[in-house]
Structure 1
């Protein structure tokens, strides 16, 4: 799991059991620092009561968990889980190996839960619903969550770098992947905006689309002096919001 990994799923004891999906961990640690800072700003964590009990599902390289666990201003107590251990950094947080969408924590354990490019890796819709149900179970009633997932209508699929891969009917995607020599099976399930919002609502979450906020934050953090950032600052939200259905990554804040 994570900008990471998981597996094809079957059901056992109410949770999904992994089979063959491959890890897709992002192992570029500097990019994980930028992502951590973006999440911090989008969730306004500086204004939350501390210490913040935080869970990252699908930690991948461990960079985001490390960012929050060693933050110089925020006091975060961080737990991180994944089905594959691809960590490059282990300091500042507690790591737990998991085997499916089930989480080894008590109900209402966390103030903040992070699902960063995880839900497309856990399996089919049933597994995605199980993932969200577990997030709802472990987040506190006054807690907040962050969820990011590739938009099905992105031009270039980010895991395999193929144009229009996720636009194709599901049954055709693996054939395209093999024809282009990029792999043997397409093991991701990117979502459409309406599809994701229905899953969040069905899980019992309220939510807010952060695509425009995240776009602005990305440019401000990664390219603060660029001409593109200057132009973006001059464009009102009202002109950007209609494009949120085709922004490459769907990003949401959610809460109970």
Structure 2
């Protein structure tokens, strides 16, 4: 069957993953992130021109070409940082947005910030790409302030369609079989990413207090700038249905939701935004 290739840091990721340079898509993702953060913080308008991050120190961990970091600065952050090991991406980012975002080449396991100095951290679809996600999570906890928030976009191993290679059930497979699968379809020479199940993600975040925004965003995409999740008429109907499906029924779907959208804090905090048809729910630690 063969042996899976050893994982090393993914340097220069933007050079071989074109999605990181899709500006329109990255800015749509940023709008969703900012809307979720604004709701949790109860910090006012999250629409165009809104500044829900007014006066805060914000860092985008895994910023690549900097589009999300730029939107975080536009949302009012007093100090905005973009952190990555993707040197070509950082070079592009600094060239365009360096006048208002400080871009830093640093590994997530050694963030260049003092203890408790960052108000908002963004860690969006990154954990599956790093060699030691648990070490990165521990380092983010170190730099996050006691009243700070961490936004998490977390891919699920049990999501049916693997998001990077668009092959069904790819992430279900052990590494050696996954390598053969991506090679057979000409997508890559090996499968690098390592996803976790919801249970594994809960374990990864056990040192935090976590609120799950997955269903609130899916059920009210207009409120959370999440129209990309449900395009077209069918999507709007799906969102309307989700808005009123009982929470106990939705819980049955949680193990196979492709992406979880969580907000984590070091100390117990409650979402401060207006009540939603599907409100955020606590993620219980293991």
Question: What is the TM-score when the length of structure 1 is the normalising length?
Answer: 0.82
Structure 1 or 2, whichever has the larger Rg, is 2
Q: Specify the alignment match of 2:219 in structure 1.
A: 216
Q: Do structure 1's residue 191 and structure 2's residue 193 form an aligned pair?
A: no
Counterpart pick for 2:30 among 25, 31, 36:
36
Counterpart contact for 2:84–2:106, Cα < 8 Å: yes
Q: Distance in 1 between matches of 2:181 and 2:241?
A: 40
Q: Deviations over 1:91-149 (max 9, x none)?
A: 131100124532111111111001001110002xxx11101001101100000001112
| CA gap 1:144/1:128 in 2 versus in 1, 3 angstroms | same
**Aligned residue runs from structure 1 range 1-256, under 5 A:** 8-9=7-8, 18=9, 22-23=13-14, 24=17, 26-43=20-37, 44=39, 45=41, 47=43, 50-71=54-75, 74-85=76-87, 86-87=89-90, 88-89=92-93, 90-91=96-97, 92-99=100-107, 101-123=109-131, 127-201=132-206, 204-218=207-221, 221=225, 222=227, 226-235=233-242, 236-237=244-245, 238=247, 239-256=249-266
Q: Distance in 1 between matches of 2:32 and 2:208?
A: 22
* Matched length: 235
Q: Specify the alignment match of 2:277 in structure 1.
A: none
Q: Distance in 1 between matches of 2:232 and 2:188?
A: 38
| CA gap 1:177/1:219 in 2 versus in 1, 3 angstroms | farther
Q: Distance in 1 between matches of 2:139 and 2:82?
A: 14
Q: Distance in 2 between matches of 1:224 and 1:178?
A: 31
Q: 1:177 Cα deviation (Å)?
A: 1.2
Q: 1:224 Cα deviation (Å)?
A: 8.0
Q: 1:59 Cα deviation (Å)?
A: 0.5
Gaps of 5+ in 2: 1-5, 44-51, 267-286
Question: How large is the RMSD of aligned CA atoms in angstroms?
Answer: 2.5
Q: 1:52 Cα deviation (Å)?
A: 1.1
Question: What is the TM-score when the length of structure 2 is the normalising length?
Answer: 0.74
Counterpart contact for 2:58–2:77, Cα < 8 Å: no
Q: Distance in 1 between matches of 2:42 and 2:203?
A: 30
Q: Specify the alignment match of 1:14 in structure 2.
A: none
Q: Distance in 1 between matches of 2:13 and 2:72?
A: 26
**Tell me, what secondary structure is at the counterpart of 2:32?**
helix
Q: Distance in 1 between matches of 2:196 and 2:23?
A: 26
Q: Distance in 2 between matches of 1:8 and 1:99?
A: 15
**Tell me, what secondary structure is at the counterpart of 2:255?**
coil
**Structure number with higher strand proportion:** 1
Counterpart contact for 1:38–1:217, Cα < 8 Å: no
Counterpart contact for 2:153–2:259, Cα < 8 Å: yes
**Tell me, what secondary structure is at the counterpart of 1:174?**
helix
Counterpart contact for 2:183–2:190, Cα < 8 Å: yes
Q: Specify the alignment match of 1:15 in structure 2.
A: none
Counterpart contact for 1:22–1:187, Cα < 8 Å: no
